[in-house]
Amino acid sequence: MASAPAYDVVANLGDLVGYGASPNEVVDRSRSLGHIFVRGNHDKAATGLLSLEDFNPLAAAAAVWTRDQLTPEHHQWLHELPHGPVVLEGVPEAQLVHGSPADEDAYVVSIGDALVPLLAVTTPLTFFGHTHLQGGFFVNGSSADGFRPEYRTVGQAESVALQLKASTRYMINPGSVGQPRDGDWRAAYALFDTEKQVVHFHRTPYNLKSAQERIFSANLPPRLATRLAAGR
| Percentage with pLDDT > 70 across the chain | 99
pLDDT tier, 5 (very low <50, low <70, confident <90, very high otherwise): confident
Phi, psi of 136 (to 5 degrees): 170, -160
What is the rounded average pLDDT for all residues in the chain? 95
Q: Which pLDDT band holds residue 90 (cuts at 50, 70, 90)?
A: confident
Mean pLDDT for the stretch of residues 118-131: 96
pLDDT (0 to 100) of residue 23: 97
Alpha helices in 39-174 (DSSP H): 41-46, 57-69, 72-79, 111-120
Phi, psi of 218 (to 5 degrees): -80, -5
Residue 1, pLDDT above cutoff 70 = no
Domain boundaries, the chain: 11-230
Would strands 198-204 and 135-139 be described as parallel, antiparallel, or unpaired?
unpaired
As a whole number, mean pLDDT of residues 22-37 equals 96
What pLDDT digit, counting tens, does each position of 188-225 carry?
999 999 999 999 999 999 999 999 999 999 999 999 99
Q: Residue 148: what are its φ and ψ, rounded to 5°?
A: -135, 140
State the pLDDT at residue 65: 96
The confidence band for 114, taking pLDDT boundaries of 50, 70 and 90, is very high
- Helix axis angle, 223-230 to 208-217, nearest 10°: 170
Q: In the predicted model, what is the mean pLDDT of residues 69-85?
A: 97
Name which CATH class applies to 11-230: alpha beta
Residues 6 or more apart whose Cβ sits within 8 Å of residue 73: none
Q: Which of 152, 151, 149, 124 is nearest to 136 (CA)?
A: 149
Identify the pLDDT of residue 81. Answer: 98
Residue 161: pLDDT band by 50, 70, 90 thresholds?
Answer: very high
Band of pLDDT at residue 3, cut at 50, 70 and 90: confident
Handedness of CA 85, 88, 90, 91 (dihedral sign): negative
C-alpha span between 191 and 15 (Å, rounded) = 19
Amino acid 89: pLDDT: 82
